[in-house]
Amino acid sequence: MGPLSFLIFFPIVMAFVLAISPFGAKGVRNGVFITGVIEFFVSFYLYVRFEPTSAMQFAEHYPWITNYGIDYFVAIDGFSLVILMLISTLLPLAYLLLWEGRTKGYWVSMLLIQGGILGSLFAQDLILFYIFWEAMLLPVFMIIGMFGSGDKVYSTLKLTIYTIIGSLFMFVAILYLGVSFYYEFGYWSFSLEQLKNLTILSHSERIWVFLAFMLAFAIKIPLFPFHTWLPKAYSNSPTGGVFLLSSIMAKLGVYGIVRFVFPLFPDLVLTFSSWIMGLGIFGLLYFGVAALMQKDIKKMLAYSSASHLGFIVAGVFTLNVYGMMGALLLIVAHAMATGGMFLLVGHMEYYTKTKTISDLGGLAQKAPFFTFYFAIMMLCIVGLPGTNGFVSELLIIISVFHVGIGPGMVAALSVLVAASFMFWLFGRAVLEDKGAKNPPMEDLNFRQIIGLFPLAFLIIAMGLDPDWFFSKVEPTVLEYLATLMKAAV
């Protein structure tokens, strides 16, 4: 078993072992945390060993369902390496903040999600990708449906229906590609490398297959107008569930576009790039304005998250190196800042028993460590110079200006929207002192302070010196863009 297979199946095996073990919730929690730490060190080993080239590395390729050309094929490049390190760093740190009050089933579900996410991230066979893509959703539904709050059943069903519809369209598109490959070459294959060689499909057929993939990934991100599941799902999810949705799973939608849509349909990416970039910029503004109108802090952060994901999509579809590098860095910056913010909001909600912004206040006086970390995450989200949020947003804005002055101006001015609602939230909920009306609040304990420190450190370190991040991913980005340029010739 290679290192990538270990990363996929170790948390899945541990989930089943811990589920049938006689340990209670605390024993299972300790096992989950140890599993997360081991996963981090294996991922870091791969990061150190990874050569900064565009080639796929650490590949594992084994025949599986040979009659239909379905193989177990996993590998990583610079793009997937970035998201691997993001996942492996965020999860054990999140466990430190989710330490108390969780059940055995909660912890087991977190491990199952981790295995499914990594399987989706590494898969180079489209059927294998689809299996992991679906598998990671089931424990998410369990976490929201069993451990959420409010109208959690409705939220779970709406999220389930949306994602299943998108996934089924993608599955049909995958099968269509596989059958077409068989008709053209006389043998079966669902390998991404092989399917890139398809020429038998007509232009209209390619458009329909392209749209089927884009629908599945647009729902996952979510892009406007496929976002209506978002507010309820984020608001009613438990802290761990909303952390996973915002910090990790939404990023897989962007990853899916770059990993599969770009190489399979480079000509259509060029054709529709301006439309999709425009949709991302529109979502950036629309979700930002929607965030300003929210009274529930989780809903505000949900729309804030969707707004930044629109920014990431816009950067990707500028189809130049500034936009792609900025989008990759913003994936990391947004995951750290928004993930940390949702973990802090979960801590706040536990003590104050409210998510309504008008009911909050005086948190800075009672919880200085909480306030300090909240401020760092907030400043990263608004793109303050010195944070990785600033570098990533600056690169994307520059890339949008390369496309056109008008879109560039809109993208630049939209940053003010994020600053408006985040500073308003910080002032109203954290800094404002309402005297006797201040809700009860406890500061972060030592374990939580340690858990958030690496995120705060990386936000600043990557903002001051982003070159060490770019060195690993730049060859991969250039390879993606070169593929698109070949299609333009």
| 192 or 478, which is more confident | 192
Asked whether the predicted pLDDT for residue 489 surpasses 60, the reply is no
Which is it for the CA torsion 114, 116, 118, 121, positive or negative? negative
Dihedral Cα 411, 416, 419, 423, nearest 10 deg: -160
| 101 or 112, which is more confident | 112
Residue 455, in any domain of the structure: yes
Residue 307, in any domain of the structure: yes
Cβ distance 323 to 399 under 8 Å?
yes
Domain ranges, residue 333: 266-489
Residue 88, in any domain of the structure: no
The neighbour count for residue 105, using CB atoms within 10 Å, is: 16
Q: What is the DSSP string of 210-263?
A: HHHHHHHHHHHTTPTTS-TTHHHHHHHS-HHHHHHIIIIIHHHHHHHIIIIIHH
Look at the block and give the residue holding tokens 């800094």.
431
Average pLDDT of the segment spanning 38-63: 87
Residue 299, in any domain of the structure: yes
Q: pLDDT tier at 125 (50, 70, 90 boundaries)? A: very high
Residue 221, in any domain of the structure: no
Residue 449, in any domain of the structure: yes
Model pLDDT for residues 331-376, shown as the tens digit of each residue? 888 888 888 888 888 888 878 877 777 777 778 788 888 889 988 8
Report d(CA 356, CA 351) in Å as an integer: 13
Residue 270, in any domain of the structure: yes
The neighbour count for residue 261, using CB atoms within 10 Å, is: 19
Residues whose CB is less than 8 angstroms from the CB of residue 147 and which lie 6 or more positions away in sequence, other chains included: 102, 103, 106, 238, 240, 241
| pLDDT, position 435 | 65
Partners of residue 123 on adjacent β-strands: 74
Residues whose CB is less than 8 angstroms from the CB of residue 465 and which lie 6 or more positions away in sequence, other chains included: none
| pLDDT, position 128 | 93
Residue 395, in any domain of the structure: yes
Count how many domains the chain has. Answer: 1
Report d(CA 352, CA 63) in Å as an integer: 54
Report d(CA 276, CA 104) in Å as an integer: 42
Model pLDDT for residues 270-299, shown as the tens digit of each residue? 888 888 888 888 888 888 888 878 787 888
